[in-house]
Each structure stands twice: as C-alpha cells, then as structure tokens.
Amino acid sequence: MTEPAVHASCVVLGAIGVLIRGVSGSGKSLLAETLIEEARSKGNFAALVADDRVVLTAVGDRLLAAVPQAISGQLEVRGFGIAGMAYLPRARVHLIVDLKPLETIERLPETPVGLEAVENIPLPHVICPKNETVIGRRLIRWAIRTGYPDAPDYI
C-alpha cells in the first residue's frame, strides 16, 4: 500500500522542523541541503527528514512529517543524481515554507509570517522565492525568529 504524500521536503534545524513546499524544479532540495549545511556549519544539529515527498500526520496539536520508506535517506542533487544522506524518519513540523515565483511575493508584506492550517493545525508560514536559496535562507531565519523568539539562531 502506498502512503499518501505531499510534494515537499522537510528538514530539522536544531529543534525546528521546516516543511518546504513547491512545484517540481522550484529549489526544494537545494534549499533543504543549504539549510542543513548552514546549521551544521554553526555547530547546530540539522538533518533531512524527506526530500520531494513527505507524509503528514496530525497527532493531537502537532503536525508530524515522515519520509516515505521508498525514498528514505535520498536527496536529489540536480545535475548529479540521487544522493544518500543521513536522515530522521520523522519530525514535528514547526514552520511551513512555500516557494513561489519572486514576482508574486510582496516586497514589504504587512504580515511577513502568517499562519496556515495544515491538517487543521495552525503553523507559522512564510513565502520564499523559488530557486533563490540565499533569500530563502534569510527569510526562513527571520520566520523562525518571529514564530519562535526563544529559539536559538540555528541558521
């Protein structure tokens, strides 16, 4: 039986689970790998949960992300292929990131970090430009600071 999965990637940065959604070719894998490398370079824990497909489950007031068994520990590296990588089989999601075309994103949004309900669980939500890893990393850093002000700067 195939597990129902969403088109997304998920990473854990310190204690913060980040779900990255976007269409194929929007830079989910590159952003996920960049976030992991950035957190580790600062001496923080970071790990891949899943790349490209994520199984989401609501458990009480928590949203859990899990990797489908068929793609456990796999990360797409465009131009290289599928690479093996250490991973966590599941993690709690704390932040939703949507990758969108740059021209559709407000330059100075009134509410830069919104709330979005996934599986009826409201979570902080930020929109980042697709294929703009440096900008995405910066916006995710600020979204974590806004949504979880007591958390350390993992990235």
Global pTM reads 0.95
Is 134 inside any structural domain? yes
The answer as to whether 153 is a domain residue is no
pLDDT recorded at residue 116: 96
Contact (CB, 8 A) for 140 and 153: no
CA–CA dist 36, 49 (Å, integer): 11
The range of the structural domain enclosing residue 132 comes to 6-147
∠ CA 61-31-87, nearest 5°, is 60
Q: What is the pLDDT along the chain (155 residues), one digit of tens a residue?
A: 455 789 999 999 999 999 999 999 999 999 999 999 999 999 999 999 999 999 999 999 999 999 999 999 999 998 898 999 999 999 999 999 999 999 999 999 999 999 999 999 999 999 999 999 999 999 999 999 999 999 999 99
Q: What gap in Å lies between CA 142 and CA 155, rounded to an integer? A: 10
The answer to whether residue 152 sits within a structural domain is no
Angle at 49 between CA 70 and CA 154, to 5 degrees: 165
Determine, yes or no, domain membership for 155.
no
What is the CATH number for 28? 3.40.50.300
Domain contains 45: yes
Work out how many domains the chain is built from and give that number: 1
The secondary structure of residue 2, as a DSSP letter, is P
On whether residue 154 sits in a domain, the answer given is no
Pick from 10, 22, 94: nearest CA to 46: 10
pLDDT value of position 1:
42
For residue 118, give every residue at least 6 positions away whose Cβ sits within 8 Å of its Cβ, in sequence order, or none: 19, 56, 63, 93, 96
